[in-house]
Amino acid sequence: MHIPVLQKEVIEYLDPKPNENFVDCTVDGGGHTLSILEKTKPGGKILGIDFDSVILETTRGKIEDSEYKGRFIAANDNFANLKNIADKNNFKNISGILFDLGYSSWHLEESKRGFSFQKNESLDMRYSVQGDLSAEKIVNLWPREEIERILKEYGEEEFSKSIAKNIVKERKGKLLETTLDLVSVVEKSVPGWYRHQKIHFATKTFQALRIAVNDELSNIEKALPQALEILEKGGRMAVISFHSLEDRIVKNFLKNKEKGNYITILTKKPITPSQEEIENNPRARSAKMRSAIKVK
């Protein structure tokens, strides 16, 4: 089940009011969208973007069957194309923009696309099945140096060298086609103490591959300036990130824009979930939200 992260805080910082228009760049199960639609009654609209057509269609159907019917515009696209999406849908007078950068519980539990190291699924990891690059292609076709680089950069994996070396060694005999094939290689490549930590030993490898497959960091870097451009003066943006690489991009972007007097940062320190929220939704534990208001 989809549980939106920092829902109360999103509403507090975006401060939606009746009849205002918002963009939800990562619709997912629609939790944040529904909260904003409630606050922007009777006439406020939401442009909801999701790269995964299955998720978007499910959420669109849910909203169309509710009291918010007719106020949700669905766009199956990558938020890296944010300005173009808004232009194409003639979506204007935007009072707020939300990015929730976490991947969906649905991807992990139901998509069968290999996001979880705890299930035996094909090594896919694409948010949109229209994409050309999959995790299977990376581990079976990319050179060792490139695999090592993404594990180190995107996963901050300290054993990136031995994991990459063993991936290349293993694939010579048999292609790595499933998540458990990959987990097995990682297990052989890390020391015993690393295999018995609180965080699963394959977590960072899977994170790195998912980021690489979906070009996640580059998409954020492309989208943030566009968000500021299409936002009305006085409009607000909020970004929820789930690991240090994303948070660093958001933090640096906001700092630079504040220096140029384009925005005022509303969160001097990132907002994090309460202990109660973490207990109800353990996946929220690493969430950090930063928010700003456009001043010119």
Q: Which domains does the chain have, with CATH numbers?
A: 7-106+216-294 (3.40.50.150), 111-214 (1.10.150.170)
Selection from 95, 123, 96, 98 nearest residue 111 by Cα:
123
What was the pLDDT predicted at 102?
A: 77
Distance CA 93, CA 114 (A): 39
Integer angstrom CA distances of residue 164 from 63, 98, 142, 143, 170: 44, 36, 10, 9, 10
pTM over cut 0.75: yes
Sign of the Cα torsion 39, 263, 252, 92 reads: positive
Distance CA 284, CA 79 (A): 22
Q: What is the pLDDT of residues 136-186, one digit of tens each?
A: 999 999 999 999 999 999 999 999 999 999 999 999 999 999 999 999 999
Selection from 246, 281, 290 nearest residue 4 by Cα:
281
What was the pLDDT predicted at 2?
A: 63
Distance CA 188, CA 185 (A): 5
Helix (H, G, I), strand (E, B) or coil at 157: coil
What was the pLDDT predicted at 39?
A: 98
Sheet harboring 231-241: ordered strands across?
A: 72-76, 46-50, 21-24, 94-100, 231-241, 288-294, 263-265
What was the pLDDT predicted at 3?
A: 79
- What parts of the chain have a pLDDT lower than 50? none
Rg of the Cα atoms in the chain: 20
